[in-house]
Amino acid sequence: MTDPTYDYDLFVIGAGSGGVRAARLTGLGGKRVAIAEEFRVGGTCVVRGCVPKKFMVMASDFAHQFKTAEGYGWTVDASFDWPKFIEAKDVEIARLSGIYAANLGKAGVELIHGRAVLKDAHTVEITKGSGDKQTVTAERILIATGGRPWMPEMVPGIEHAISSEEAFHLPELPKRILIAGGGYIAVEFAGIFAGLGVETTLIYRGPNILRGFDDDVRAHLAGEIEKRGIKVILGCQHEAIEKTDTGLMNVLGNGMRLETDVVMFATGRIPYVKDLGLDAAGVELDDKGAIKVDHFSKTTADNIWAIGDVTDRMNLTPVAIREAVAFHETVYREKPMAFDYEAVATAVFSQPPVGVVGLSEAEARHTCAKGVDVYVTRFRPMKYAFTGADERVLMKLVVDAETDRVVGVHIVGPEAPEMIQLAAIAVKGRLTKAQWDATCAVHPTLAEELVTLKEKQSNNTSAG
């Protein structure tokens, strides 16, 4: 039953992947639903994240493929047209955004273009591009506003730097770029620009890139991306950025001065909650500035929920979509459902790419009471046999020594993201190393190494 005292049964703030899924499901269920979006339908992933970034990764990887092709007898004379690529990318993103909007309409969801702000727990004010304001009420509200890049404002000259969002729309391809950051966004863009022929430097304040990933993965990838021509400077950060007649001078904490055409900061993303009116609605934040939610994505306000990056739980598009489904099942189908965050696979579209599911070796040693067995292999892919390339694949299995269950899989190399999706089924299904070993290999493939690893790297030692 709908409550006639409200304009809508559900009002969603943010039309990214999570918000759109929740709105569509609820609209298809016969409820009165509206969704507000201040930028473009599709959110971070479709408009300024995973999708356009993957197109850029694919575009930049052709240079590496051409080089490999020469070893197989091909003569390749190629050049890259940045404006042509940007135009093609923008056309595709507009098409995808349009599909999202059309699907909302088919589900009976009203799409409102404008910035929505909470006035109280049931009232939302939307400011449209024209400046006009619209006030609506809703029985329930779902916040799915995502995240935004964080820029270190304390760095002098930071106004000359760009974030990852501006990188998608550079008017021309720079000759030199410095990327600050060591997370997946920084590493991915470093590979993109290096692949497109840009002199690329990556600096990170920590001891190695990809903090939070398995240590073998971190060390292996750092070495591999340097083979692709990326200069990696660790244990260092900016002291200042100075504009010069010929570019931007990066003044670094290690005493280096490095001039580039573009400086990009990929130093993290934060929940987008600024001026959202959360206090007026009784919605609290946690100590990291994310919206505080329970296992069912419910906030501290009885009628308001939040999903996706704005909750800073596991910031992945497929996770936001699953959280949206769980919200709908819980609230509108009376089937309480909480998303299970264990063994969620993820990929880093670096060059070479990374695929990971489950626990790192360090995490497993603190989790598995009777210790862990570790299996590791490093080898040259068959594809590079004719090229003389020094590139290596890393594959690693982490096994609970007591149960023989494979609790972690880590891959660095060609097609790692494709392989890890299937490996995730086995890890999620709690299969044992014996079951992996009993699976016949597909030869010749990279993936066959996952079921032929026999030699343990280390003995069974526990964290304690």
Nearest to 241 by CA among 179, 166, 186: 179
DSSP run (H or E) holding 325: helix 317-332
Entry field: residues in the chain = 464
Pairing of strands 354-358, 372-379: unpaired
Nearest to 326 by CA among 317, 315, 337: 337
| 359 touches 343 (CB < 8 A) | no
DSSP designation for 457: E
d(CA 294, CA 284): 12
The Cα 156–Cα 253 span in angstroms is 13
Distance (Å, rounded) from C-alpha 240 to C-alpha 259? 12
Annotation says 443 is catalytic: yes
- As a whole number of Å, the end-to-end CA separation of the chain is 56
Pair type for strands 147-149 and 269-271:
antiparallel
3-state secondary structure at position 46: helix
Largest CA distance in the chain: 73
3-state secondary structure of 104: helix
Catalytic residue chosen out of the listed positions 160, 238, 366, 443:
443
Pairing outcome for strands 372-379 and 393-400 = antiparallel
Active site residues: 443
